[in-house]
Amino acid sequence: MRSSIAKSIYVGAAVLGLAGLSAVTTTTASAKSYATAGSYTALTKGQNVLVNGTNAIYSKPGTVKGAKVVASKKTVSKLAASKKSNDTFYAYGTKTTNRGSVYYKIVTMDKKYRGYIYGGKTAGTFAGGIKTTDTLTTAATPARTTGYYLKDVSKNTLWTAPKYTDINAKKVSLYGAAKTDPFTVDKAATKTKEGSLYYHVTDTKDSSISGWIYAGKGYDTTITDNTKQDLGGLSLTPSKDAVVPTNDNSVKVVYRDANNATVGNATFVTSASKTKAGQQVAADTDASGDTLAKFVTKSVPSGYVVSNDSTGSAQYGSTVYVDVTAAATSKIALKLDAVDSSAATVANGLAKGDTLTTSDVTVSGFDASVLTGKKGDSVNTTAIQAALAGATLKGNKTYYSNDGTAYHYDFKLTSDSAFATDNSRANYGDTLSAYYTATLVKSAATNNSTPDNSWIA
């Protein structure tokens, strides 16, 4: 019995010994499975790359012993789907393992993630978990390239490259540039990920100052009021706060109604240099190029017009009082007194007597300020007529003939003298009438943006 038990113990021990040997053998094999990496080599030229989410990022090549996960595949997948430029990567170095796997050292543009990612089997190419990318896409330069100003350098300054599109992008020094310096646009581009537009601009007074700046929606030729352009960090007029107001360079303007009550105030600040308190303002202008008289008119409180401008002898450091009176604003009904449809017969076309609406037509180049005046006063038909003559009307709608051919209407003011006659008794605040001839033209209407047509009745 003892012999049998002893034999069993011996056999069991032998089995355990084999198992232990097997475990040792497995551990040794696992240790030998680690790859080794060659020396680090910096890329001669760095490359902007995107991750594709198939590979994690490690502290060293992923198959080398001791490699730790910097960004998991899940995290990398989120970075791959990101629409933000700061999640673009920059590859700047490489290591190749003894198995021929190439790993690239990469870092996000915001420096948040940095490490090695598998990049294929051929050094100098980008495969595996990454691919090359262009962080900027060339865009068309705007129709207007001159006369831009920096809107607010504390918020939208210049960069050597749009932020997060170049690992070395940095702010441009504006030392020596005046806030009233105009800039010229010579290039335009969009961020590939976001699609946001940037202009490359140069200071026309100091060509050493140049760089990229966010440009909003970009210059729009259909918008006639430059203050309504969406240009991001740029403007088409110098900032009003380009010069700090002092007694030596400014005039305080106080607006008073018929009861001598103050209804508003403003401060005129000249862009002229070396002015002194007590000096006549005369023809000096502000950063927008406006004289004091023009500034007073443009800055009048809403609902009022200037009735007495006493700024002619104004001096720097003084206060001028400007009398104002209640204002009224007219609207204009655009009417058709003739329709030329000789080109074709179209469905639901315009007819004599129709009044155009903003859905029918877009008007550009009209100075609506001529419609505002002292309440009760007769309208200045000459000024309004001139403004209408200088405006352009574009048809918004496409009409179709029986055979499917597309047409649109062109519009022309009927005569130069009719407006004054038709509105001879009108006062500011009344609805005025302007008459046009509509002519049917073969071609579809173009897509017109809509400026401020609120003055159309």
User: Which DSSP letter does residue 87 get?
Assistant: G
The parts of the chain modelled with pLDDT lower than 70 are 1-32, 153-155, 175-176, 239-244, 287-288, 416-417, 447-452
Q: How far is CA 197 from the centre of its chain?
A: 6
Q: How far is CA 361 from CA 261, 352, 390, 393, in A?
A: 43, 16, 16, 6
pLDDT at 153: 66
Question: CATH 2.30.30 spans which residues of the chain?
Answer: 134-239
Report the distance separating Cα 291 and Cα 126, nearest Å: 61
Question: What is the topology classification, in CATH, of domain 134-239?
Answer: SH3 type barrels. (2.30.30)
Strand, coil or helix: 9: helix
Q: What six digits make up the tokens of 251?
A: 């005039």
- CA distances (Å), 307 to each of 256, 304, 376, in order? 10, 9, 13
DSSP 359-422: TTEEEES--GGGGEEETTSBP-HHHHHHHHHT-EEEE---EEBTT--EEEEEEEES-SSHHHHH
- What class has domain 243-328? alpha beta
| Cβ atoms 195, 201 nearer than 8 A | no
Three-state SS string across 166-188, please?
CCCCCECCCCCCCCCCCEEEEEE
Maximum alpha-carbon separation in the chain: 137
Domain(s) of CATH 3.10.20: residues in the chain: 243-328
**What are phi and psi for residue 337, nearest 5 degrees?**
-105, 0
pLDDT digits (tens, 9 = 90+) for 86-109: 999 999 999 999 999 999 999 999
Around 204, how many Cα atoms within 13 Å sit in the side-chain half-sphere?
Answer: 13
Are 226 and 218 in contact, with CB atoms under 8 Å apart? no
Q: What is the pTM of this model?
A: 0.50
pLDDT digits (tens, 9 = 90+) for 147-186: 999 987 666 789 999 999 999 898 887 766 777 789 999 9
The amino acid present at 323, given as its one-letter code, is D
Q: What is the pLDDT of residue 23?
A: 37
Bridge partners, residue 291, by sequence: 285
d(CA 309, CA 270): 18
